[in-house]
A and B are shown apart, each in its own frame.
Chain A
Amino acid sequence: MMPDLFPALPEFFLVCAALVLLMVGVFRRGETADVVGVWATLALGMTALLVLAGDGERVTTFGGMFVTDRFAVFMKILVLTAAAMTLVMSLAWMRQERLGRFEFSVLILFAVLGMLMMISANDLMALYLGLELQSLSLYVVAASHRDSSRSTEAGLKYFVLGALASGLLLFGSSFVYGFTGQTGFDRIAEILKGVEGTSLGATVGVVFILAGLAFKVSAVPFHMWTPDVYEGAPTPVTAFFAVAPKMAALALLVRVLTGPFAAMIGQWQQVVVALAVGSMVLGAFAAINQTNIKRLMAYSSIGHVGYVLIGLAVGTATGVRGILVYLALYLAMNLGVFAVILSMRHKGRLAEEITDLSGLSKTHPLVAAALAALMFSMAGIPPLAGFFGKFYVFIAAVEAQMYVLAVIGVLSSVVGAFYYLRIVKIMYFDEPVEVLDPPPGRSITLVLTASSVVVLFFFLYPPPLLLQAEAAAASLFPG
C-alpha cells in the first residue's frame, strides 16, 4: 500500500531541490556558489509556501511516523524563515571573504530538511534520523572554513559532543522502547497513560532523551560546546546556529514531552525546571565578562533557551503559546543582531570584539540605533518585542503557580540587561577607535531593517502572531 505522500510534500520538494542543486553545483562550470545559493534560498521560500498550503489539520502518514499539524506548520515557517534569511546574509559575507562554496548552501538545505523532519517526527526512529541529518550537516558547516584552525576545532568539538548527545538520546529511546514496546509517539502516549504509578524504565528513558535534546538546544548543564562553536565557526554559520537548529530542537522537545510523555509530567517537569533555571542564571552571569561578541551571543542564546524552557516546564497550552511567541520574536531579534555582526569589519579585516563597536553612533548612526533597539529588546524592556516574548512565558508560569520560576526568570533578565546595555553604552558613549566598513551587501542591510521594524513596532499589532501561536499550541493539546 502506498503511503499518503501529500502531508510530506514540502519535505519532498526540499529533497528534490537539494539533490538538483547538488548536481548543478557539481556539473556546472565556473563559479557555482552564488547561483546555487540564490536557488537554495528560493527553494526554501517555495518550501515555506508548500508548508502554508496545507490546511493545518492533524494528519499522520508513513504508518504514523510523520505528522503535520498547526504546531508543525508554525515551527516549520520559523525554521524556514531563519534559514532563508541567514542564507541570504551569508552569501554576501562569503563572497566578500572568498569562502563561497556551493556545498555550503546544499548542506544548509539538508540541515533544514532534517529540522523539518524533526518538527514532524512522530516516532522515536524518525526523530533520531531527522536529528542526525540536521546535526551531520551542521558539523560539516561549522568546519567549513577549513583553513582556519578555529573553525575546524569548532566543527570537531561540535561533532564529538553532538555524537555523545545522540548516544544519550538513543540510549534513552531504547529504554522507552524496551519498557513500552513501541516507538510511535501516539502508541507510547496510550501505553504510558494506562500505567499506574510510574514506570522506572520509562523514566530513565525520558531523562536520557531529555539530556540528549538539552545538548542540542544547549541548555545548562549541557551547554559547554556552545561558546566555543559559536566563536570558532564562520560568522554566518553562527548566525544560522543561533536560530534555526535551536527552534527545531525546541519544537522536538515540546512535541516529545507534551505528546508521548504527557502522562509523565511529574517526572520530566522537575528536570525541565532545573534546565531552565540553570540556563537563565548561567546565561545572565557568564555573559558579563565576554569580550568577543560571538561568545556573548552564545551565552545570550543559552539564557534565552532558559526562558523558553519555562514555558515548557509549565506543560500547558498557555506555556507552549508562550514558547512559540518567544521563538518567533527571538528569531527576529537574533537575525538583526547577526546582520550587524556580519557587517563588522575594519578595512576588510574581520572584527569580532565588542569594543570594535565603540563610537558606532558617530560613524554609523542608523546601524547603532537599530542595534540599540535590538539590545533593549533582548534585555526585555517594554514596549519592544523581546518584552512580549518574556511576558507570555512568565504569564504561563504564574498561571500554573510556578512563582519561583517566574521570579528567577525576572531576576536573571535584570542581570542579563547589564551586558546588553553595556553594548549600547559602548556604541553611544565610547570614542570610536576605528571606523567600521559599510555592510558587505544590501541583503544584510535589508535583514537588519526588517528585524528592527518588527522589534520596534510589534507592540502596535500583536494579534496575528498571538492567534497563530495559540492555534498551534492548541493543536498539541487535543480535547
Chain B
Amino acid sequence: MRRIAEGKAGGVAPGQECFIIGGGEGVVVHAVVFYVFAAIAIAGAVQVISARNPVHSVLFLVLVFFNAAGLFLLLGAEFLAMILVIVYVGAVAVLFLFVVMMLDINTLRLREGFLQYLPLGGLVGVILLAELTAVIGGWVFVPDVEEALQTGGTAAMSGITNTEALGRVLYTDYVYLFQASGLVLLVAMVGSIMLTLRTRPDVRRQIIARQLERTKANSLKVRKVPTGGGV
C-alpha cells in the first residue's frame, strides 16, 4: 500500500490509499507465488490430457482449477477465485467425475488411432497460433499506459472488496434481476426433476421403525427337529 503523492490517476484522489502494482520487496514474493501457481497449473493441465486413467484426469483438472483460483487471488479478484472454486470445482468437475465413473470409458481403446487425428489437430493448432500471433502483433497500448500504471494502476478504490462491491449493487439496484434469475434456476430444477424422476412402486424400501419393532419373540421360532425327520 502506498500513498498517492501527486496527481489524479485512475480516479484516485491525492492522499488516498490504494494498491499499486510494482515496487518494493512484495514484488518478489508476488512473482514467486505467481510462478509456483502457474507452473503447477500448466503441469496439471498437461496431466489432464496425458493421464491414463480418466478419473486421474478429472482430479488433475481440479488441481488446475485451484491453481487458476490462486492466480485470480494474486490479481486481487477474490470473487472470481471463489466462483471458480465453487462452480468449477464444486459443480462442474464433480459432474465430470460422476460421468467418467458412470460411463466406464476404456481409454486404451480411445487412444487407438490417436495419431491419425494429428494432421487435423495440428492444422487447427497452427491456425489458432497464426490468429493469436496476428492479434498480439496488432496489439496497441494506449499511449499513456506506462504512466497510468506507475501512478494509478488497478486499484481497489475505496477499500471495498470485489465481493462487497458486487453485493452492494446486486441486492439493491439489480434485486429484481437477481430474484428473477433465481426463479429461472428454480424452474430448471423443477423441470429436470419432472422430466427424469420416476417413482417406481415395486421398490422395497427400508422402514427403520419396522426393523426396530422386530423382537426375538415375533421373529424367532425354536423347533425341535427329530433326528433324520427334516423340518
A: which residues have CB within 8 A of B?
1, 3, 8, 15, 22, 62-63, 65-66, 101, 103-104, 106-107, 110, 113, 117, 125-126, 129-130, 132-133, 136-137, 139-140, 143-144, 146, 155
Contacts and interface: CB of A to CB of B under 8 A. Distances in A.
Contacts of A137: 187, 191
Contact of A132 (B176, B184, B190, B193): B184
Contact of B183 (A3, A15, A62): A15
Contacts of B176: 3, 8, 62-63, 65-66, 126
Contact of A140 (B173, B181, B184, B194): B194
A286 to B, nearest CB: 31
Contact of B187 (A3, A65, A130, A133): A133
A166 to B, nearest CB: 11
Given A107-B194, A136-B187, A137-B191, A62 B180 contact: no
A369 to B, nearest CB: 39
Contact of B190 (A106, A113, A130): A106
B92 interface: no
Nearest to A155: B195
21 contacts: A8-B176, A62-B176, A63-B176, A65-B176, A66-B176, A101-B194, A106-B190, A107-B187, A107-B190, A107-B194, A110-B190, A113-B183, A129-B184, A133-B183, A133-B184, A136-B188, A137-B187, A139-B191, A140-B187, A140-B191, A155-B195
Contacts of A130: 180
B177 interface: yes
B193 to A, nearest CB: 8
Contacts of A133: 180, 183-184, 187
A205 B139 CA distance: 27
A187 B194 CA distance: 41
Given A22-B190, A106-B190, A107-B190, A143 B177 contact: no
B158 interface: no
Given A107-B191, A110-B187, A143-B195, A129 B172 contact: no
Minimum-distance CB pairs A-B, first 7: A140-B191, A62-B176, A129-B180, A103-B194, A136-B187, A110-B187, A133-B184
Contacts of A126: 176-177, 180
Contact of B184 (A15, A62, A136): A136
Nearest to A110: B187
Interface of B: 172-177, 180-181, 183-184, 186-188, 190-191, 193-195
A136 B181 contact: no
A249 B152 CA distance: 48
Nearest to B177: A125
A140 B183 contact: no
Contacts of B184: 129, 132-133, 136
A184 B188 CA distance: 27
Contacts of B183: 15, 110, 113, 133
A204 B177 CA distance: 25
B194 A144 contact: yes
Nearest to A104: B194
Contacts of B181: 129
A103 B173 contact: no
B175 A62 contact: yes
Nearest to B188: A136
Contacts of B186: 110
Contacts of A136: 184, 187-188, 191
A216 to B, nearest CB: 16
Contacts of B177: 65, 125-126, 129
A155 B196 CA distance: 14
Contacts of A63: 173, 176
Contacts of B195: 140, 143-144, 146, 155
A107 B184 CA distance: 11
Contacts of A65: 176-177
A65 B188 CA distance: 24
Contacts of B193: 103
A231 B172 CA distance: 44
Contacts of B174: 125
A22 B173 CA distance: 29
A110 B180 CA distance: 11
A154 B181 CA distance: 25
A65 B186 CA distance: 22
Given A140-B195, A146-B195, A103 B190 contact: yes
Given A107-B190, A110-B183, A125-B174, 9 more contacts: A3-B176, A103-B193, A106-B190, A110-B187, A125-B177, A129-B180, A133-B184, A136-B184, A136-B188
Contacts of B173: 63
B201 to A, nearest CB: 14
A126 B172 CA distance: 15
Contacts of A143: 195
Nearest to B193: A103
B199 to A, nearest CB: 11
Nearest to B192: A140
A146 B191 CA distance: 12
Contacts of A22: 190
A132 B183 CA distance: 10
A139 B193 CA distance: 13
A65 B173 CA distance: 10
Contacts of A110: 183, 186-187, 190
A139 B191 CA distance: 9
B190 to A, nearest CB: 6
A126 B180 CA distance: 8
B64 to A, nearest CB: 28
Nearest to A132: B184
B205 to A, nearest CB: 15
B227 to A, nearest CB: 54
A11 B112 CA distance: 57
Contacts of A3: 175-176
